[in-house]
C-alpha cells in the first residue's frame, strides 16, 4: 500500500483517505494534503494527514 510510507506523501498531494468514522466501511474521501501528522517514516495503516478541508484520516491511495 503506497500510503504507508511518509516519503511518498508531500504537502499538496492529491490523495484518498479513510476518515476515523469511515474505518468500518472503508469509505474513501479525496482531497489535497495540507499537513502530514504522522511523525514515523512508516505506518502499517497509512500515514495520517490533514486535508485542506480540515478532514483528518489515513492515506489509502495516492491519486494523480
CATH of the domain at 54: 2.30.30
Q: How many domains does the chain have?
A: 1
Given the C-alpha cell 514515523, which residue does it identify? 40
Which pLDDT tens digit goes with each residue over 8-50?
Answer: 999 999 999 999 999 999 999 999 999 999 999 999 999 999 9
pLDDT at 61: 96
Does the pLDDT at position 5 exceed 80? Answer: yes
Q: What is the pTM of this model?
A: 0.93
pLDDT at 55 over 70: yes
What is the rounded distance in angstroms from the CA atom of residue 64 to the CA atom of residue 39? 24
> What residues make up the domain containing 41?
2-62
Nearest to 13 by CA among 28, 1, 30, 27: 30
Q: How high is the pLDDT of residue 1?
A: 56
* pLDDT at residue 64 tops 90: no
Amino acid at each position: 500500500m503506497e500510503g504507508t510510507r511518509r516519503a511518498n506523501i508531500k504537502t499538496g498531494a492529491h490523495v484518498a483517505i479513510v476518515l476515523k468514522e469511515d474505518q468500518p466501511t472503508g469509505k474513501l474521501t479525496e482531497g489535497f494534503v495540507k499537513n502530514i501528522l504522522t511523525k514515523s517514516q512508516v505506518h502499517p495503516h497509512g500515514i495520517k494527514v490533514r486535508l485542506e478541508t480540515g478532514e483528518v484520516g489515513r492515506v489509502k491511495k495516492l491519486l494523480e
